[in-house]
Amino acid sequence: MQRGNYTILIVCEGEKTEPLFFNSIRDELIDNKYNNDIRKIKITIAPEPSIDILYKNNTVVKHKSKRKKRKTIKVEEIDKIKIIDGRPPLRWVLTAQRELLEGAFNEVWVVFDNDDHPGKKEAF
């Protein structure tokens, strides 16, 4: 796959569910499921979702069928994105803004739910 010309960062509240959700959408786009030209776009999801040992090693639990391992393409190294310390969701917004200002990405998104987060007003 070619390196993209347009880059998108999606910073998620959660560390597993949301990143896995957005990674699956990205993978479907890469697999050309929607007849698009994703080759010119690079999508990075942060934080990197934690993957349990069974999924990572693609091993089989006794009496369960083996899942077909899905092909994924890592389009960006998550280690380059340093999450800013502070109160969520302001922390996520500041992280995304910093990445945008540094020119690392053309577009950034911050995704969080409407819970009673401390610092929610400051994030907007």
Q: Where are the domains of the chain?
A: 6-123
**Which letter, b or e, does each residue of 67-106 get, where b requires 16 or more Cβ atoms within 10 Å of its Cβ?**
eeeeeeeebbeeeebeeeeeebbbbbbbbbeebeeeeebe
Q: Is pLDDT above 70 for 52?
A: no
User: Look-up: residue for tokens 């009496």?
Assistant: 63
Q: Closest by alpha carbon to 10, among 70, 85, 76?
A: 76
pLDDT (tens digit per residue) in 69-91 = 555 545 444 445 566 666 667 77
pLDDT (tens digit per residue) in 19-39 = 888 888 888 877 776 666 656
Does residue 29 sit in helix, strand or coil? Answer: helix
Q: Is pLDDT above 60 for 108?
A: yes
pTM for this model (two decimals):
0.56
How far the first Cα of the chain sits from its last, in Å, is 36
Residues 6+ apart with CB under 8 A from 54: 61
